[in-house]
Amino acid sequence: MYSRPVLGERATMEKCYMRLAIMGTGYVGLVSGACFSDLGHDVICADINEQKILALQQGKIPIYEPGLDEMVRRNVEQGRLSFTTNIKKAIQDSLMIFVAVGTPPREDGTADLQYVFSVAENVGKHINGYKVIIDKSTVPVGTAARVRETVQAAMTARGAHHEFDVVSNPEFLKEGAALEDFMKPDRVVIGCDNVRVRILMEELYSFFARNGRPIIVMSTESAEMTKYAANAMLATKISFINEIAAICERVGANIDDVRQGIGSDRRIGYEFISPGIGYGGSCFPKDVKALIQTAQEAGVQPRVLPAVDALNEQQKSALIEKMRTYYHDDFAGRTFALWGLAFKPETDDVREAPALAMAAYLLKAGARLRAYDPKAAEPAAILLGHDAHIEYVDHYYDAAKGCDALVLATEWSFFRNTDLARLKQEMKTPVVFDGRNVYAPALMSTFGFDYFSIGRAPVLAFSQASGAATSPG
């Protein structure tokens, strides 16, 4: 057990070894627990979901994240990582308690903090000595103060008196690259209000400091805002490039060339300026909405953020609008191959996925779908419902067999090397609607496809060759 140093004893802290409890075994909690244990800490991941904990104890990982299953297995075998439903024991056996539970959006866009405060109340009920309570969940500004109040109230109700600190330590993990992001972060943000806990947090993250990763210490309010601001900025870049792509289509410019032209400017860069059919997932959509609500509650009327959100919702239907024009709003009886269901590659997360929005529209319009995704078919089927008009196949070429058109919604890397001759042979008609600009228009023209993408001129090679050209937008 790690003994808490008194203020000023930093020089005696020879080894950064701590016992950590991770409250919540969702994406953030499981990745954080696995990575901290891989750094040598003793970690216990706790959750009230008995089925999830039982599965984890049996080595079954509930999410797909490259490398996570192996990291969990390794650290469980070496005794540094364990899973439990015993919340009391996890709290009492640990110095640092990470809050990594979900903060889903309410109907008005605000973050639902009931799970965060449930953890805080449990800490207050079971605290048996000094603890550091660390908010990893994405929470609105001011949540750390409310967590402190909740812990104190629960402690007072049982007549207990123990010291504790509350820290904001937001995560900046990309799904599909979370392990690397955790182990090689651009920065570690720590929000705290005294030297004692700052020393402990800096020791916890000393591995990263030794490897040149900056540790940035600020107030809890600033740390909470940093997380929202970071996600909102990235979402803004995505909506911005999609709006530029829409303009390109109308004025005859090519978004690929424009992206090269602006991305080469070091002040802008290439990251998050790839045009497509909008962002999804568990972070950007809810965090932009939550920040809008935070601003309004503080008396600020945001203008950029609502536009970012509205543009993204509009962008999810960008391919559908092209398809409506091409097929003159007649989808009934047509069969479409849908490549990709997850909101991005290298994940099985389908929350707010543009692919699912398109699938729902096409099914309602009377179309049939054959869908392929290497990881996300099962969660997609749960959200879409087991509709008889959608079939989930095991290989992407099988999805294309006899279809009227292919809709590409997620840019899995192997799609980039598709055998276009084989694809054309499999399809009933060689028509592709590419929501991620995976293919070069010139190449699609060479192979005789009708091809529609984002921010680039359409290719009508098949229609022109067959004499059945339509008026696609």
Supply the residues annotated as catalytic.
Answer: 283
* Phi then psi dihedrals of residue 112, to 5 deg: -85, 110
Question: Whats the size of the chain, residue-wise?
Answer: 473
The span from the first CA to the last CA of the chain, in angstroms, equals: 65
Contact between 242 and 314 (Cβ < 8 Å): no
* Phi then psi dihedrals of residue 235, to 5 deg: -65, -35
CB within 8 A of 89, min separation 6: which ones?
44
Contact between 342 and 376 (Cβ < 8 Å): yes
Contact between 118 and 151 (Cβ < 8 Å): no
* SS3 of residue 418 by DSSP: coil
Task: Please report where in the chains the tokens 């990881």 appear, as a residue.
Answer: 375
Helix 143-157 with 220-251: angle, nearest 10 deg: 140
Distance in angstroms (rounded) separating the CA atoms of residues 395 and 141: 45
Distance in angstroms (rounded) separating the CA atoms of residues 283 and 466: 45
What does DSSP assign to residue 95?
A: S
Distance in angstroms (rounded) separating the CA atoms of residues 65 and 206: 25
* Phi then psi dihedrals of residue 450, to 5 deg: -90, 130
Q: What is the DSSP secondary-structure string of 174-195?
A: PTTSHHHHHHS-S-EEEE-SSH
Distance in angstroms (rounded) separating the CA atoms of residues 257 and 262: 9
Compute the half-sphere exposure of residue 90: CA atoms within 13 Å on the CB side of its CA: 26
What does DSSP assign to residue 111?
A: B
Beta strand 459-460 pairing with 450-452: antiparallel
* Phi then psi dihedrals of residue 154, to 5 deg: -70, -35
Contact between 375 and 306 (Cβ < 8 Å): no
Task: Please report where in the chains the tokens 């809890």 appear, as a residue.
Answer: 220
Instruction: Determine whether 27 is exposed, middle or buried from the number of CB atoms within 10 Å of its CB (0-12, 13-18, 19+).
Output: buried
